[in-house]
Structure 1
């Protein structure tokens, strides 16, 4: 009788965890804990590579885990992070080097044009718009990197096309990110726990919507051909 009672109790608890209000609260708390853990790993592994060499592989590892969470894939967090970090160390740093160089060139050009006079100063606004487009492309770099198996230049090219074809999801990602940033400014303690993972979640979620739309278009185009 005792064993039967215990089995019934365990089943009820399991059912409560998966359904209803209690189940919803349980899942939210579980997500919060996972996001905090991933964020801590992201910070530690960025420092492990002296930030300069650790940031990009740690960010790729973080986006990989966030993507798996959104896909409901149950994977060991630390092992997946560490494995991805090691595997993508060289490739992600190569991508990071390209992004930093391009960003630095934009920065130098903007500073030069801002302080210029005459015709050169007129180029400031076009270059500013190009810089903003570059920043939007960077938002999609990591989602594209972890979602598709592509070479570096293809990653940048696909990030550009995804950003261009689905601007609504880009706007949504930016607006939600601004809300998250506002909350972190108001509650600084959130920075330690969620400064990377929450933005990764927002960007990856919106990117997934873009990927799904893009896949649907590709399927329809293939069906028309056949």
Structure 2
């Protein structure tokens, strides 16, 4: 088989893998009645994508997804409950102060920091064995000390958003998995930077 054929086969294989994990994510979110299924399904998707990015490209996708979904169902929904509560409080605050532009500024800033922190929450959850409080704390600290990574994620995710907006079919097959791959790859870079700093201190 020629190099071109090998590359084409590898590309087709990865396209099918990303489509498969995206469909699993959508399916298990629905099976969990969306609200209770979304967070464990998202964690399961991130867990699979993390293994791929760490070089474990031959992991059984369904088995890894399903085992993570079951094992992290309660914990991920506990984290999800906190996320929903914080998000709801922010929305309520915006509704109450919508006519007070001066007060809106710190709320928008808080919203921005919350969204950036959320980008790190899922990778931290699947990369480290931590309690929920420490997951949120570490995600927040990683967000603060990695401005370049924040920018890369924002630009990449905005690009994906506009591509999916104009080609909706891609969103159904790759929206979630591609987003997870972008976030996870950037976060792995941030994790390695942090681990190197800790090694130097020791």
**Same fold, TM exceeding 0.5?**
yes
1:135 to 115, 137, 140: 115
1:72 to 44, 55, 70: 55
Residue 179 of structure 1: how far off its partner (Å): 1.2
In 1, Cα distance between equivalents of 2:69 and 2:188: 22
In 1, Cα distance between equivalents of 2:26 and 2:102: 41
Residue 23 of structure 1: how far off its partner (Å): 3.1
**Structure with larger RCO (C-alpha < 8 A, sep 6+):** 2
Residue 24 of structure 1: how far off its partner (Å): 3.0
**Aligned equivalent of 2:165:** 185
Residue 27 of structure 1: how far off its partner (Å): 2.3
**Aligned equivalent of 1:108:** 92
In 1, Cα distance between equivalents of 2:80 and 2:178: 21
The reply to whether residue 89 of structure 1 matches residue 69 of structure 2 is no
Higher alpha-carbon Rg: 1
Residue 37 of structure 1: how far off its partner (Å): 0.1
The reply to whether residue 99 of structure 1 matches residue 83 of structure 2 is yes
In 2, Cα distance between equivalents of 1:30 and 1:159: 32
In 1, Cα distance between equivalents of 2:4 and 2:197: 37
**Aligned equivalent of 1:5:** none
**Aligned equivalent of 1:196:** 176
Provide Cα deviations, 1:95-115, integer angstroms capped at 9, x if missing partner.
Answer: 000011011111111221113
Query: TM-score scaled by structure 2?
Result: 0.96
Residue 25 of structure 1: how far off its partner (Å): 2.9
Query: TM-score scaled by structure 1?
Result: 0.86
Provide Cα deviations, 1:129-166, integer angstroms capped at 9, x if missing partner.
Answer: 01110010011100000000000000000000111111
**Aligned equivalent of 2:156:** 176
In 1, Cα distance between equivalents of 2:151 and 2:11: 25
**Aligned equivalent of 1:220:** 200
**Aligned equivalent of 2:37:** 54
**Aligned equivalent of 2:146:** 166
**Aligned equivalent of 1:42:** 25
- SS of alignment partner, residue 123 of structure 1: helix
In 2, Cα distance between equivalents of 1:218 and 1:24: 39
Residue 177 of structure 1: how far off its partner (Å): 1.1
Residue 26 of structure 1: how far off its partner (Å): 2.6
